[in-house]
Amino acid sequence: MQILVTGGLGFIGSHTVVELIQSGYEPIIVDDLSNSEIFILERIEQITGKKVKFYPYDVTESENIKKIFNENKEIEACIHFAAKKAVGESMEIPLEYYRVNLLSLLTLLDEMKNYGIKNLVFSSSATVYGQPEKLPVNEDSPLQPALSSYGSTKQMAEDILEKVSATGWLNALALRYFNPVGAHKSSLIGELPKGIPSNLMPFITQTAIGIREKLTVFGGDYPTPDGTCVRDYIHVVDLAKAHVKACEYLKQKKQNFSYEVFNIGTGQGYSVLEIIKTFEKVNQQSVAYKIGDRRKGDIESIYASCEKANDILGWKAEETLDDMVVDAWNWEKKYRSERK
């Protein structure tokens, strides 16, 4: 089964392509390289021993998608990762976020409809929940108005998918990712943030390796057990496997068109300090940090209930926090040693 993976050279996309190949699927990657590197394609081929078809195209343009669908008649599903994803940046250039994140989805949907492709897996985010009143958060928990333009694009996209699926030609699954971290065990692919990382794990690994002087923990006075924010960190390979399960689910589904959302996390919340301490202990590597001010827009605590994904998709996260910090660190070390 051919599957079009937009943004397939990005952090989550590349790990998903590997898992798809290893489960017998034939992923086709489209990625405009705006926030990814072409060497990741070779690495995917190195890990899997398979050649992967790649298009360096922008998916906001329908001509590009038409070309791909014309050349690959066996495509039965699309996994749509291609999007802009920096929360802070999305507040500075909101129009660009709305343009890229929504136009790519609308263009893809238009062409899927034209070509009779009925199955879509969409990258959504736990950010749609805001600060939930009750934890763990499940798929029926109410959504809060989005604080960032990035979050707003994810909420709007989910809304679009729900309405389009209701017209009876589309099967769409939105996966709400919690905090993806870690890297492939081979250390051949991993997270490649451009410039100063805004996410916690790459900031930790870059501080440990000496690229950053010190990590600032954003806020030590939250009403959490140790005063720092709590998140549900999930290993990127577990997250990638959830996409394979999503494809299997769509494949065995008959003509019953629908839209469904799934939380994809571990169900376990860890504080920022717990992440740092675990990283230091497991990797025997210190991380310089200080407690600083709260970051604007941060919520204090969130973690997932993943029962729905477990019951319906038959998926469950398997990797531990120790695995996540080890794999993130091994990737950082290998990547930097090769660039010297």
Among the listed residues 17, 59, 183, 229, the single contact to ligand WQD using CB under 6 A = 229
Q: Any contact of residue 125 with ligand WQD (CB under 6 A)?
A: yes
Q: Any contact of residue 179 with ligand WQD (CB under 6 A)?
A: yes
Whether residue 150 lies in the annotated active site: yes
CA 52, CA 50: separation in Å to the nearest integer? 6
Catalytic residue among 57, 97, 129, 150: 150
> How many CA atoms, within 13 angstroms, populate the side-chain half-sphere of residue 206?
19
Give the contacts of 72 (CB within 8 A, at least 6 positions apart). Answer: 2, 4, 28, 53
Q: Which two tokens stand for residue 338?
A: 């090769």
CA 195, CA 279: separation in Å to the nearest integer? 22
Residue whose beta carbon is closest to ligand WQD: 229
- 93-98 own/partner pairs: CB under 8 Å, 24+ apart: 94/149, 97/149, 97/150, 97/153, 98/149, 98/152, 98/153
* Angle, vertex CA 177, rays to CA 124 and CA 151, nearest 5: 45
Strand 230-231 vs strand 270-271: parallel, antiparallel, or unpaired?
Answer: antiparallel
Using the rule CB under 6 A, give the single segment among 113-121, 210-218, 242-250, 278-286 that binds ligand WQD.
210-218
Question: Binding mask 285-304 vs ligand WQD (x if CB under 6 A, - otherwise)?
Answer: ----------x--x------
CA 7, CA 16: separation in Å to the nearest integer? 10
Among the listed residues 117, 170, 215, 313, the single contact to ligand WQD using CB under 6 A = 215
At closest approach, how far in Å is the CB of 151 from ligand WQD? 7
At closest approach, how far in Å is the CB of 315 from ligand WQD? 19
Q: Any contact of residue 217 with ligand WQD (CB under 6 A)?
A: yes
Q: Any contact of residue 231 with ligand WQD (CB under 6 A)?
A: yes
Question: Binding mask 233-272 vs ligand WQD (x if CB under 6 A, - otherwise)?
Answer: ---------------------------------------x
Comparing CA positions, the residue from 13, 9, 36 lying closest to residue 236 is: 13
Q: Which residues bind ligand WQD (CB under 6 A)?
A: 85, 87, 125, 127, 179, 198-200, 203, 215-218, 229, 231, 272, 295, 298
Active site residues: 150
